[in-house]
């Protein structure tokens, strides 16, 4: 009950500061959260596709022996593997949060608003 009163008092103070712009500000914050949720989902997926493309190209170049396999073949596969590991960590870390943001953007907009003030 005490926390609800604190949140309501903060929201009243914020509404008093913004005045008429609050009617415009709130939908934009919710829209911003939706866009942020999509970026949290699509960004790591695109990075994962890039990593798979690099690994695929490196594997095919190695298989076709288009170049010497001393340094360049190893470097392409190592770069692809590193990008793949980073992308996997981002996928595991950001996609669940992105889904939650898309599921209820108002809560995350309110959370961001309360963090500002």
pLDDT tens, residue order, the chain (117 aa): 566 677 677 777 777 777 777 677 778 888 999 999 999 889 888 888 888 888 787 777 767 665 555 555 566 677 777 877 887 887 888 888 889 999 988 888 888 877 876
Instruction: Please report the pLDDT score of residue 34 as a whole number.
Output: 93
Q: Where are the domains of the chain?
A: 37-117
Burial of 101 (0-12, 13-18, 19+ CB in 10 A): buried
Burial 46-63 (b: 16+ CB within 10 A, else e): ebbeebeebbeebeebbe
CB hemisphere CA count around 77 (13 angstroms)? 11
Q: How far apart are the C-alpha atoms of 32 and 34, rounded to whole Å?
A: 5
Global model pTM greater than 0.85:
no
CB hemisphere CA count around 33 (13 angstroms)? 21
């Amino acid at each position: 009950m005490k926390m609800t009163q604190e949140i309501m008092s903060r929201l009243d103070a914020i509404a008093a500061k913004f005045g008429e712009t609050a009617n415009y500000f709130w939908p934009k914050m919710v829209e911003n959260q939706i866009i942020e949720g999509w970026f949290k989902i699509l960004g790591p997926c695109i990075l994962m596709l890039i990593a798979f493309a690099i690994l695929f190209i490196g594997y095919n170049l190695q298989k076709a022996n288009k170049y010497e396999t001393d340094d360049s073949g190893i470097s392409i596969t190592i770069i692809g593997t590193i990008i793949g590991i980073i992308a996997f960590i981002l996928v595991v870390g950001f996609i669940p949060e992105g889904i939650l943001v898309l599921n209820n953007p108002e809560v995350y907009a309110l959370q961001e608003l309360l963090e500002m003030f």
